[in-house]
Amino acid sequence: MAPESMSGLPAAVLAVWILCATGWGAVLLGLLRGLRGPARGPALFAHCATPAASILLFAHIGFGSLFGAIALAAEWWALLLVTGTRPERLLTTGGLRRLAFWAALAAAGAVWAGKTVLH
């Protein structure tokens, strides 16, 4: 076993999973706190279905779930940074500028994390 691994699992992979899980939880708390009205139920359902759907999608197209975890972690942390931990701001008060900044930050984070973890 390499010294940088934990029971054979590389520490970088474990860090990606932890960042992905904490980002998911932080976005969930933001949605629970901020959303009201008829949009709350579908938004919470979609957010809760996203991790399983992502793993299934990446497995179906032939990539491992690590690629999906990297992408989701980057998207969730970018969302938290752009909206100030209030995800409903992405569409209600942000307009296209905030949406574009989120997409660019998520893409940059995914590329950086991918290169860091996979190389």
* Helix (H) or strand (E) segment spanning residue 10: strand 9-10
DSSP label at residue 37:
G
pTM of the model: 0.83
pLDDT at 6 over 70: no
DSSP state for residue 94 in the 8-state scheme:
-
Is-contact 33 40, C-beta < 8 A? no
Q: Decide which of 7 and 39 is more confident.
A: 39
Res 107 pLDDT > 90:
yes
What is the reported pLDDT for 77?
A: 95
pLDDT digit string, tens, across residues 11-38:
888 888 899 999 999 999 998 998 888 8
**pLDDT band with cut points at 50, 70 and 90 for residue 108:** very high
* Cα(76)–Cα(85) distance, integer angstroms: 10
